Amino acid sequence: MIVDSHCHLDFEDFSVDLDEVIDRAMENGVGEMLTICTHLSRFQNILDIAERYSNVWCTVGVHPHESESEGQKTAERLIELSRHPKVIGVGETGLDYHYNHSSSEKQCQNFLSHISAAQQTGLPLIIHSRNADKNMIEILESEYKSCPFTGVMHCFSSGLELALKAVEIGLYISFSGIITFNKAQEVRDIAKQLPHNRLLVETDSPFLAPVPNRGKRNEPSYVVHTVSQLADIINVNQTDLINITTANFHTLFDTR
Ligand SMILES: [Zn+2]
Ligand SMILES: [Zn+2]
């Protein structure tokens, strides 16, 4: 079974038909999903979803976009909320200098509290990075040196140097529907250069629906298109890639 390692099942887009969405995922071989927290103010909704479905896990965190509105939370608050058996990661966090919905200072501060929570709990970090390669590399390097942590660079669309640095410190790299987009040749070229034991797949739904569903609402069942594209890119068969990415997910995340 495939794991969708990053989706947002609490978003409005799924408010009327979440049961059907989860059923369709299962029918398409997607056995588990990790629904990712973006707002602490919505954490309870996320937890409710994770508690309702036995094959859905969740995280706790503040998206870089919300660093100004919600990012003043301390690592202690994140740690406290992470003490629930369904919470298996910290994030999503990171840096987004493409949209700059929050200042870079606030984004860095917010990111550092998440890293600290990950260092203290041992939970993997879910890292979002866009147009921020240089800063991201600096922070990952120096924080890892001061105290190791684990995690995943989600929806990877950054440069090769960041990918290799992340792999060097033990992080995983997750690919989304972006790898099915025509213009994403650079991302496909990077995927070929990564060790198979660090690869994950995700939808990032409701965003970024892969070809042939591009433009529609994305949902976990569509991760099959990302799987088949990634299998072609790295030249392994689809069943092997499913086994590899699912095993990787369970190595990184503790789903007991
Ligand atoms: Zn993200
Ligand atoms: Zn996300």
Nearest ligand, measured from the Cα of 96: 1
Largest CA distance in the chain: 45
Amino acid 233 reads I
Report CA(203)–ligand 2 centroid distance (Å): 9
Express each pLDDT in 195-215 by its tens digit: 999 999 999 999 999 999 999
Nearest ligand, measured from the Cα of 202: 2
Report CA(235)–ligand 1 centroid distance (Å): 27
Domain boundaries, the chain: 2-252
Report CA(204)–ligand 2 centroid distance (Å): 5
Report CA(155)–ligand 2 centroid distance (Å): 8
Report CA(128)–ligand 1 centroid distance (Å): 5
**DSSP category for residue 10:** T
Report CA(119)–ligand 1 centroid distance (Å): 21
Report CA(96)–ligand 2 centroid distance (Å): 12
Nearest ligand, measured from the Cα of 128: 1
Report CA(246)–ligand 2 centroid distance (Å): 19
Report CA(7)–ligand 2 centroid distance (Å): 6
Write down the pLDDT at residue 236.
Answer: 98
Distance CA(89)–CA(114), nearest Å, equals 10
Sequence-ordered alpha helix ranges (H) in the chain: 18-27, 43-52, 67-70, 75-81, 104-121, 133-146, 160-168, 185-192, 223-234, 238-252
* Residue ranges of the chain with per-residue pLDDT less than 50: none
Residue 32: name the closest of 57, 67, 49 by CA.
57
Report CA(20)–ligand 2 centroid distance (Å): 21
Report CA(247)–ligand 1 centroid distance (Å): 22
Nearest ligand, measured from the Cα of 65: 1
Write down the pLDDT at residue 70.
Answer: 87
Report CA(124)–ligand 2 centroid distance (Å): 15
Write down the pLDDT at residue 26.
Answer: 98
The CATH class of 2-252 is: alpha beta
DSSP letters along 14-58, please? GTTTHHHHHHHHHHTTEEEEEEPP--GGGHHHHHHHHHH-TTEEE
The enclosing H or E element of 5 equals strand 2-7
- How far the first Cα of the chain sits from its last, in Å, is 17
Report CA(239)–ligand 2 centroid distance (Å): 26
Report CA(202)–ligand 2 centroid distance (Å): 10
